[in-house]
Amino acid sequence: MPFELPSPFNPVLASFAQRPNFIDVNDSYPVSPPRAWAEIDLGAMKKNLAVAREAFGGGALMAVVKAGAYGHGLEEIARSLANENIVFFGVANVGEARRIRNAGVETRIYLLGATWSEEREEIVARDWTPCISTVEEAEQFNRLAARYQKRLKVHIAVDTGMGRGGFVADHLVESMRRLDLLKNLEIEGIGSHLPSADEDKEFTESQFRRFRSIIDELGGPQRFKWIHLSNSAGLLGYDKDACNLSRPGLLLYGVSPLPGFQEKLITVMTLKSRVTLVRTLPTGHGVSYGRQFVTTKPTRVATVGIGYGDGYPRHVSGKGAEVWLRGRRFPILGRVTMDQLMVDVTGADDVIEGDEVEIFGPNILVDEIAEKAGTIVWEIFTCITPRVTRCHIP
Ligand SMILES: *Cc1c(COP(=O)(O)O)cnc(C)c1O
C-alpha cells in the first residue's frame, strides 16, 4: 500500500519514508515522518577529502571516523570512503573497528586511544593497528602475535604536549631499545598529537620541531613507514615537515578549525526539522520554560519539532541563535525544550505548518551554533542523538 506523504515533503525525506525500518509504519496508518533529520552529503565529503589531500601536499591520509564519524553515521561514511585511497580509518575503540568490518569495509583500522588488555587478542587476530604507549602493552601484543605466528604492525605514540597518551618523550629512546627486542612486532609508524593547533601557533610549531628531533634521535625518518602528527588544524595551518600521513577528522565533515579555510570546504551535514504549529500570541505572553521571553507585542510564533533531546544545544537559549526558514533567518524565542523550540515569525505570513527548517547547514553554519552554545563544533556534531534520522545522499 503506498504511503501518503504530507505536503510539503522533500524527496530525501520521501526516499527514506519508503523504508519502513527507519520509521514506525504499518499497513493501517500513514507514515509518521521524523520531526528532525540530518541530510549527509557524501559527495561534499569527498570534495573536502580532496581539499585535505591537496593541503597535505599529496601525503597519505588517515580518515578519523571515531564517534560514529562525528555523528555522520560510521558505516555509511566508512563505505563511502572505502575506495578513496584512505590508508587507515582512525577509530576510538574496538567496537567502532568491528562496526567498520561488519559494514564490509576492509580498509586498515588504527586505534587512536589506549586499548584494554582483554581486547588485544582480537586486535592481533584481525590485524588492526594499535598505537603503543607503554613497554608492557607492547610486550603483551608481542606475546599474542607470537601465538598467532605473525608480526603485528604497531605505531609508537609519543606525547609531545597533549598529556593524554603515548610515551613521555623524555623516556622514549630507552623504551625504544626494549621495543626493538620484540620480534613479533613491526614498528611501522610513529605519531603524536597536537593539543592547540587551532589556538597557539608558536607552541604548535615548537611541537613539530620537537617531534622531528625525537624522530632523528630514534634513527631518522627512514626508520618509519608512517610518521603522523596533524589533525585538521595541523594539516591546514602548518608545514608537514617529516610527516607523510595526516589524521583529519573535522575538515572531512566540512568544518575548518582555523579561520581562513572555511570557504574551501563544503557543508556535509544539514540538520533539519519542520514547523509543527504556527500561532499568534498576544502581548505579555511568555514563551517556553522559565518565561525568559515575554512578548511585547502580538507575536506570530512557529513551533519547530527539534529540541535538546535531538542534540540541539539548550545552551543557545537567550543567545540570539537563529534558524533558516523560507530563505531567511528567524530568531529562536525563549529556551530550547526537549523536543521543540519556538521561533519568531512575526510579519512572515508565508511561514506555515509543515515548512522545512534548516537548524544548521549551508545557511546557518554549525560554528555559529557552537559559538552561541559556548562549545565546539566537534561536540555539537557528536551530541546529535539517535532520534535524528541520518539520510545519506550519494
Ligand atoms: C580526533 C583526533 C584527530 C582528528 O582531529 P580533528 O581536529 O577532528 O581533525 C586526529 N588525531 C587524533 C589522535 C584524534 O584523537
| pLDDT grade for 58, boundaries at 50, 70 and 90 | confident
**DSSP calls for 298-323:** -EEEEEES--GGGT--GGGTTTT-EE
301, 342 in Cβ contact below 8 A? yes
User: Per-residue pLDDT averaged across 173-199, rounded?
Assistant: 97
390, 37 in Cβ contact below 8 A? yes
Is the pLDDT at 381 greater than 70, yes or no? yes
The predicted structure's pLDDT at residue 278: 98
Q: How far apart are CA 343 and CA 330, in angstroms?
A: 6
The predicted structure's pLDDT at residue 20: 44
Alpha helices for 194-291 (secondary structure H)? 201-217, 232-237
309, exposed or middle or buried, with CB in 10 Å at 0-12, 13-18, 19+?
A: middle
Domains identified in the chain and CATH numbers = 42-253 (3.20.20.10), 269-393 (2.40.37.10)
232 lines ligand 1 (CB under 6 A): yes
The percentage of the chain sitting over the pLDDT mark of 70, rounded to a whole number, equals 92
Q: Which of 93, 247, 380 to mutate to test the pocket of ligand 1 (most atoms within 8 A of CB)?
A: 247
48 lines ligand 1 (CB under 6 A): no
User: Per-residue pLDDT averaged across 21-39, rounded?
Assistant: 68
The predicted structure's pLDDT at residue 239: 94
The predicted structure's pLDDT at residue 34: 85
Tens digit of each residue's pLDDT (9 = 90 or more) over 269-288: 999 999 999 999 999 999 99
Ligand 1: residue whose CA is nearest its atom 6:
249
Please tell me the distance between residue 113's alpha carbon and the centre of ligand 1 in angstroms. Answer: 11
Nearest atom (ligand 1) to Cα of 198: 7
31, 17 in Cβ contact below 8 A? yes
Tens digit of each residue's pLDDT (9 = 90 or more) over 316-327: 999 999 999 999
Is the pLDDT at 351 greater than 50, yes or no? yes
231 lines ligand 1 (CB under 6 A): yes
Q: How far apart are CA 259 and CA 198, in angstroms?
A: 9
Please tell me the distance between residue 381's alpha carbon and the centre of ligand 1 in angstroms. Answer: 14
Tens digit of each residue's pLDDT (9 = 90 or more) over 105-131: 999 999 999 999 999 999 999 999 999
Q: Which of 231, 250, 261 to mutate to test the pocket of ligand 1 (most atoms within 8 A of CB)?
A: 231
133 lines ligand 1 (CB under 6 A): no
Residues 156, 98, 142, CA angle at the centre, nearest 5°? Answer: 35
Is the pLDDT at 6 greater than 80, yes or no? no
Please tell me the distance between residue 393's alpha carbon and the centre of ligand 1 in angstroms. Answer: 25
Please tell me the distance between residue 64's alpha carbon and the centre of ligand 1 in angstroms. Answer: 6
User: Per-residue pLDDT averaged across 343-357, rounded?
Assistant: 96
112 lines ligand 1 (CB under 6 A): yes
User: Per-residue pLDDT averaged across 32-53, rounded?
Assistant: 94
Is the pLDDT at 233 greater than 50, yes or no? yes
248 lines ligand 1 (CB under 6 A): yes
Number of C-beta neighbours around residue 181 at 10 A: 11
Alpha helices for the chain (secondary structure H)? 11-17, 42-55, 66-71, 74-81, 94-102, 120-125, 135-147, 172-179, 201-217, 232-237, 366-373, 377-382
C-alpha cell recorded at residue 146: 607470537
User: Per-residue pLDDT averaged across 339-360, rounded?
Assistant: 97
| pLDDT grade for 1, boundaries at 50, 70 and 90 | very low
Q: Which of 61, 62, 64 to mutate to test the pocket of ligand 1 (most atoms within 8 A of CB)?
A: 64
Q: Tell me, letter by letter, the H, E, C secondary structure of 44-88.
A: HHHHHHHHHHHHCCCCEEEEECHHHHHHCCHHHHHHHHCCCCCCE
Is the pLDDT at 177 greater than 80, yes or no? yes
Is the pLDDT at 363 greater than 80, yes or no? yes
The predicted structure's pLDDT at residue 170: 86
Maximum Cα interatomic distance, the chain, rounded to a whole number of Å: 79
- Average pLDDT taken over every residue of the chain: 93
Catalytic pick among 66, 240, 272, 372: 66
253 is catalytic: no
Number of C-beta neighbours around residue 159 at 10 A: 19
Nearest atom (ligand 1) to Cα of 66: 1
29 is catalytic: no
| pLDDT grade for 13, boundaries at 50, 70 and 90 | low
Is the pLDDT at 39 greater than 70, yes or no? yes
Ligand 1: residue whose CA is nearest its atom 3:
231
More confident residue, 26 or 292: 292
155 lines ligand 1 (CB under 6 A): no
| pLDDT grade for 18, boundaries at 50, 70 and 90 | low
The percentage of the chain sitting over the pLDDT mark of 90, rounded to a whole number, equals 90
Q: How far apart are CA 309 and CA 385, in angstroms?
A: 7
Q: How many residues does the chain have?
A: 394
Ligand 1: residue whose CA is nearest its atom 4:
249
